[in-house]
Amino acid sequence: MSVIDEIKQQKPFPSKEQEAAGTLLRTADVLRRHLGSVIGPHGITAQQYNVLRILRGAGAAGLPTLEIAARMIEEAPGITRLLERLEKKKLVSRCRRHDDMRCVDCHITPAGRGLLDKLDAPVRAAAGRAFHDVNRLELAQLVQALDQVRQSLRNKEESS
């Protein structure tokens, strides 16, 4: 079913670019809800899951708050609040640096690592279900096209 049918739009989009943007946004929303249905029952949001994955990847060294924010899939303007919530759940720990009190280093806790270990297979399976009907070549082309869109937008931001 096309996005035009899904959203019950009466007229075609004014341009293919607008149709692509609308389709991408609608698909991202559907995919976010699909993955959220796997992550949510474990008491965390998709953004919190993303933070935990980032910190697991950082290893024992952890990462400063702003570096976590820079690595997020979706921008998180409230990164401090996001980390506070994870800390209350005992999934991350935070500590100020002694040499720079403005910098807060964050680490995943054993409980956070355990939660990710539980979620790895279900999230992988959910992503597999989401893209089940898309072949490897189409997936590679989709990833490449989306990379081009992001790079183009970055180039425009940098030049303005």
For residues 104 and 64, the answer to whether their CB atoms sit within 8 Å is yes
Domain with 45 in it: 37-111
Q: How many domains does the chain have?
A: 1
Q: Residue 44 has what pLDDT? A: 97
Domain annotation covers residue 17: no
Domain annotation covers residue 77: yes
Identify the CA nearest to 111 among candidates 55, 69, 70.
55
Domain annotation covers residue 104: yes
In the numeric block, which tokens belong to residue 36?
């959220």
Domain annotation covers residue 10: no
Q: Residue 101 has what pLDDT? A: 66
For residues 130 and 34, the answer to whether their CB atoms sit within 8 Å is yes
Q: Residue 133 has what pLDDT? A: 96
Domain annotation covers residue 97: yes
In the numeric block, which tokens belong to residue 73?
């899939």
Q: Residue 158 has what pLDDT? A: 85
Q: Give me the residues of the chain with pLDDT under 70, please.
A: 101
**Domain CATH code at residue 70:** 1.10.10.10
Q: Residue 6 has what pLDDT? A: 80
Q: Is the dihedral of CA 27, 73, 45, 69 positive or negative?
A: negative
Domain annotation covers residue 74: yes
Domain annotation covers residue 131: no
Q: Residue 7 has what pLDDT? A: 82
Q: Residue 13 has what pLDDT? A: 87
In the numeric block, which tokens belong to residue 32?
């976010």
Domain annotation covers residue 94: yes
Q: Residue 9 has what pLDDT? A: 85
Q: Residue 53 has what pLDDT? A: 97
